A and B are shown apart, each in its own frame.
Chain A
Amino acid sequence: EAGVTQFPSHSVIEKGQTVTLRCDPISGHDNLYWYRRVMGKEIKFLLHFVKESKQDESGMPNNRFLAERTGGTYSTLKVQPAELEDSGVYFCASSQELGLMVGTGELFFGEGSRLTVL
């Protein structure tokens, strides 16, 4: 069975440009999470989908970030326009939780998408 896949693995863009990251969760997993790690910091939660619905997007840093999960399958995270402080590794994870209780299902992570904003 395929794991969580993310694309691209590395993206280098200039400040002001747009980047779209994609995550394909494990088939059948309703829960999809986006996280990011900026240099030297801990991994931070960005948002959580249950199927196609945003369950919690309290971690999204600002309105330059837009996440979608149309049809409840893959998800995209768009950064527009990108700023220097957006550089980091963006991880996606999926799980099948017990109801809506975040944290009760084993997390499966993708390899991450490294974003470098110059």
Chain B
Amino acid sequence: KNEVEQSPQNLTAQEGEFITINCSYSVGISALHWLQQHPGGGIVSLFMLSSGKKKHGRLIATINIQEKHSSLHITASHPRDSAVYICAVGTGNQFYFGTGTSLTVIP
């Protein structure tokens, strides 16, 4: 079992839909990171959070430390949001990564 589990693994949505990607972890964390990787591209950091909620444009990330769970929400999804979204947990010693959620938004 991985230290970081993401769901779903694959997600297809219609443009405009509200999207939620989930991340559960089993290790103690210093911070949780949401990352985005476009096809053939590098990885970009979207959020780093250790409590509560953060919002950037149409993206919202939440974390519940007690439940060891985080969610990434995308409102009014757009085809350009199509990418792999990766949850990564920093433990203070190293990082653990989820396998990623591949999102496809159809026009």
Contact = CB atoms under 8 A, between A and B. Distances in A.
A53 to B, nearest CB: 15
10 closest cross-chain pairs (CB), A and B: A103-B90, A109-B43, A111-B42, A43-B97, A103-B30, A42-B99, A103-B31, A42-B97, A45-B94, A101-B30
Nearest to B29: A103
Which secondary structure characterizes the binding site on chain B? strand
Contacts of B93: 56, 102
Nearest to A102: B90
Interface of A: 33, 35, 41-45, 48, 56, 58-59, 91, 93, 101-112
A56 B41 contact: no
Interface of B: 2, 4, 29-33, 35, 41-45, 48, 50, 86, 88-100
A103 B30 CA distance: 6
B91 A102 contact: yes
A35 B37 CA distance: 14
Contacts of A105: 48
Nearest to A56: B94
